[in-house]
Amino acid sequence: MSTIQDFSGYNPTWCPGCGDWGIGIAIKQAFVQLGFDPSGVAVVFGIGCSGNMNDFLNAYAIHSLHGRAIPNAIGIKLANHNLPVVAIVGDGDCYGEGGNHLIHACRGNHDITVIVHDNGVYGLTTGQVAPTASKGFKSKSTPSGIIEIPINPLSLAITSGATFVAQAFAGDANGTIALIKEGVNHKGFSLINILQPCVTFNKINTYQYYLQKTYKLPADFEKDNFKLAVEKSLEINEEKFPLGVIYQIKRPTFTDQLPQLEKETLVNKERFVDFDSLIKDFI
Ligand SMILES: Cc1ncc(C[n+]2csc(CCOP(=O)(O)OP(=O)(O)O)c2C)c(N)n1
Ligand code: SF4
């Protein structure tokens, strides 16, 4: 049985009070409670303050390119579909640079879990506006306020085909741990959007703000109801943030539908391509 210590890497360098601290502890705690050990889970990071967790979490990990964590995670899953695969990314990484990858991962129902640190800013590069920031948000890159309207991560994922969509708040450790465990246990594509205060560069979406605007979904919430899930996701327009599993359904995963992988994983196949017959096919 592994411990939090087993999953601990270098000491985090996040700003004091940053929501990343709570998320980092929740991820380690969830891995311990899931019975994982550091060599039994693959983690892919994007680039950002969130991605710096690559150094603070001890697990098999790739610190990928900005916006490219999801395709790396999908690649690992295709190679070894028995391995749990988790992508840990920022909102800029996932909904900005990597937005296209998110949509197609949802469509394919790739069996990976994407954990998003949603802080409304590009934290690592010192606070430029990110795609979840509200219209009018002032930052050093948008001194007169952002012109575009924000991305709605939950409705984007639900309508693109994700089979598990949840929202957590970094200030609610137990709720975040529970949702990470549920997301990782879900068979299919899971997105967990974690509302994460950036205490240094986002003076609007603070802990106080989220404590006032978040609420927990009731235990009997009908999470397989598509219309209801979309309605819940739209509550952000009234500055209301439901916490919990907003949508969950069953649908075959991508690898479930590949007959080549029915018997064993790609990495366990001695020779997964017969080059001789392949070449004959082309001659
Ligand atoms: C293709 C590319 N564009 C831009 C950058 C510069 N860059 C590095 S981190 C970052 C912002 C990260 O923001 P986010 O993904 O929201 O994560 P956070 O730092 O807020 O956790 C940017 C723009 C980069 N590394 N690669
Ligand atoms: S800049 Fe913001 S997101 Fe990055 S560590 Fe500091 S508080 Fe956290």
**Ligand 1 atom closest to the CA of 94, numbered from 1:** 15
Angular region, 120: left φ>0, alpha ψ -120 to 50, beta rest:
left
Q: Which of 171, 164, 185 is nearest to 241 (CA)?
A: 171
Q: Which of 18-27, 73-82, 118-127, 255-264 has the weakest average pLDDT?
A: 255-264
Under DSSP, is residue 66 helix (H, G, I), strand (E, B) or coil?
A: coil
Residue 168 Cβ < 6 Å to ligand 1? no
Lining ligand 2 with CB less than 6 A are 14-15, 18, 20, 49, 119, 123, 198-201
CB within 8 Å of 161: residues ≥ 6 apart: 106, 107, 108, 109, 189, 251
> Does 283 map to a domain?
no
Residue 48 Cβ < 6 Å to ligand 1? yes
Nearest CA to ligand 2 atom 1: 123
> Does 263 map to a domain?
no
- If one compares 279 and 48, the residue with the highest pLDDT of the two is 48
> Does 264 map to a domain?
no
CATH code, 184: 3.40.50.970
Q: What would the pLDDT profile of 239-254 be if each residue is shown by its tens digit?
A: 999 999 999 999 999 9
> Does 198 map to a domain?
yes
Q: What would the pLDDT profile of 48-93 be if each residue is shown by its tens digit?
A: 999 999 999 999 999 999 999 999 999 999 999 999 999 999 999 9
Count the domains in the chain.
1
> Does 120 map to a domain?
yes
Instruction: Give percent of the chain above pLDDT 70.
Output: 99
129, pLDDT greater than 90 = yes
Q: What would the pLDDT profile of 179-204 be if each residue is shown by its tens digit?
A: 999 999 999 999 999 999 999 999 99
* Contact yes or no for 230/158 (Cβ under 8 A): yes
Structure tokens at 89: 């990314």
Q: What is the pLDDT of residue 271?
A: 67
154, pLDDT greater than 80 = yes
**Ligand 2 atom closest to the CA of 50, numbered from 1:** 3
* DSSP H stretches of helix in 122-172: 153-160
If you ran DSSP here, which 8-state letter would residue 210 be given?
H
> Does 208 map to a domain?
yes
Phi, psi (5° rounding) for residue 116?
Answer: -105, 125
Section 153-163 average pLDDT: 98
> Does 275 map to a domain?
no
Structure tokens at 262: 């029915």
> Does 189 map to a domain?
yes
Q: H helices then E strands: how many in the chain?
A: 10, 10
Q: What would the pLDDT profile of 212-245 be if each residue is shown by its tens digit?
A: 999 999 999 999 999 999 999 999 999 999 999 9
Distances (CA, A) of 196 to 55, 69, 118, 130: 20, 19, 5, 13
What is the residue range of 119's domain? 5-254
CB within 8 Å of 254: residues ≥ 6 apart: 74, 77, 78, 108, 109, 110, 111
